[in-house]
Amino acid sequence: MSNVSKKELRNRIATRLSEHLEVQTLDERPYIETLGDRLANSGVSRRSFMKYCMGLSAMMAIPASLMPKLVEAALLSPVTSVVYLSFQECTGCLESLVNVFPNTQYKTDSIENILLTALSLDYSETLMAPSGVQAEKSKADAIAKKNYILVVDGSIPPDKDSNNKPTGFFIQHGKTGRTLLQEAAINAALVVSVGTCASFGGLPAAKGPDPKNPTGPRISPTGATSIQAALKSFGSTYATKKVINVSGCPPIAEVIAGTLIYWILNKTAPELDSNLRPKMFYGETVHDECYRKEFFEHGQFVESFDDAGARKGYCLFNMGCKGPITHNACTTLKWNQGTGFPMEAGHGCLGCSEPGFWDKEAIVGQGIGFYKPLDINTVDD
Ligand code: FSX
């Protein structure tokens, strides 16, 4: 036994603690908002959020029995920060997302835009109230905190053309699209490419005649690429980022919401197809669940939009419908809050969720269908 008195021992321990430990009172600890806090502050009860998630469970292929545990864990987790960037696009994707609720199929009583409530949307040029320096600070803060989801719509143009001259296709705050993407992606836990432009290049990457060789192969005048392709070109730090493509021009609101909620609940990405799309939404073709499929199987087709077959609701394949080659959830989740989908309105599927949308032909070599290039005669002989 040493001869140290209890008093001296207490003093030594206190000195050690003050030297080596940062003792914080509860009040001094930084406040980290949980998803539960955020929902409560927005007037959304846990019960309502649970009900909402239960409504999505079948769509997200999560067993209903597992959902309560996932929701409880998510409610105790920090609210998920989202940085939303827009590049070459038409804003149709964001328009689709903000229309996410109410939905007649996944109705959640009075809860509207629950997805936007469940996320901390720290930067979105279109939706955020702050602008200028304040908005940029908000983005920089979110990036510095890490672990955010980077949601991107639109495609990325190259900085320079083949003559090494600036293309100037996308400049914001004096920075090119590539620089803005690179800065925002650095600390992202997940990158979600919303829309076909972000997923595959889409409309801004569509091909037209080469002015130097009008009869030669068609080229993309903008040279726009998908988000994943741009990330890969930035090197290994970016090439290994987890990317989910939520394609469609625009994508279905519930598909965007379901993908983000899946990540919030599971802290991991859902199973993806070879085009990095969640299989739970893109696992089947539009044709697989189309109510006109029976006519396809019996060889009964619409041949013009005003013929007897059109009035009888026959299959629209000969009118250029891309349903058999298009992976999406239009015929199951439907559009406009579960109201309907194009074939219900008598129009074929455009194939907007597939790579090459705008450039593909319905029937190879014949240019039939909605992909028929607009710079040649569009009237069929
Ligand atoms: Fe593209 Fe989206 Fe089509 Fe538009 O953001 S997928 S043109 S609906 O707006 O990017």
Atom number of ligand 1 nearest to Cα 96: 8
Region 79-282: CATH code: 3.40.50.700
- Statement: residue 110 has pLDDT above 60: no
Q: State the distance from the centre of ligand 1 to the C-alpha of 51, rounded, in angstroms.
A: 31
CB 316 within 8 Å of CB 83:
no
Position 220, amino acid: S
What is the rounded average pLDDT of the residues 244-270? 93
The reported pLDDT for the residue numbered 162 is: 84
What is the rounded average pLDDT of the residues 142-165? 95
DSSP-assigned letters across all residues of 78-138: BPEEEEEEE-BS-SHHHHHHHT--S-SSS--TT--SHHHHHEEEEEETTT-S--HHHHHHH
Can you read off the two tokens belonging to residue 374?
A: 């607009």
User: Which of 127-141, 182-196, 259-273, 346-360 is the most confident on average?
Assistant: 182-196
Atom number of ligand 1 nearest to Cα 203: 7
Q: State the distance from the centre of ligand 1 to the C-alpha of 205, rounded, in angstroms.
A: 12
The reported pLDDT for the residue numbered 107 is: 44
Q: How far apart are CA 149 and CA 142, in angstroms?
A: 10
Domain ranges of the chain: 79-282, 284-381
Instruction: Name the residue with higher pLDDT: 208 or 169.
Output: 169
Which residues approach ligand 1 with their CB closer than 6 A? 89-93, 153-154, 195-197, 202-203, 249-250
Record the pTM: 0.85
Task: Write the pLDDT tens digit of every residue in 59-94.
Answer: 788 888 999 999 999 999 999 999 999 999 999 999
Q: State the distance from the centre of ligand 1 to the C-alpha of 244, rounded, in angstroms.
A: 16
Q: How far apart are CA 100 and CA 108, in angstroms?
A: 11
Q: Tell me if the bond preceding 250 is cis, omega within 30° of 0.
A: yes
Instruction: Name the residue with higher pLDDT: 14 or 296.
Output: 296
Select from 86, 87, 91 the residue to mutate for testing ligand 1; criterion: most ligand atoms less than 8 Å from CB. Answer: 91
Instruction: Name the residue with higher pLDDT: 72 or 8.
Output: 72
For domain 284-381, say whether CATH 4.10.480.10 is its number.
yes
- pLDDT band with cut points at 50, 70 and 90 for residue 15: confident
Task: Write the pLDDT tens digit of every residue in 312-327.
Answer: 999 998 888 889 989 9
Max CA-CA distance within the chain?
Answer: 108
- Statement: residue 236 has pLDDT above 70: yes
Atom number of ligand 1 nearest to Cα 248: 6
CB 105 within 8 Å of CB 333:
yes
For residue 368, CA distances in Å to 37, 175, 300, 310 come to 54, 41, 18, 18
For residue 283, CA distances in Å to 221, 271, 279, 329 come to 32, 10, 4, 8
Q: How far apart are CA 315 and CA 286, in angstroms?
A: 13
Q: State the distance from the centre of ligand 1 to the C-alpha of 159, rounded, in angstroms.
A: 21
Domains 79-282 and 284-381 belong to one CATH topology:
no
- pLDDT band with cut points at 50, 70 and 90 for residue 281: very high
The kind and range of the H/E element at 150 are strand 149-153
Q: State the distance from the centre of ligand 1 to the C-alpha of 259, rounded, in angstroms.
A: 17
Query: What does pLDDT average to over the chain?
Result: 85
The reported pLDDT for the residue numbered 58 is: 81
- pLDDT band with cut points at 50, 70 and 90 for residue 24: low
- Statement: residue 116 has pLDDT above 80: no
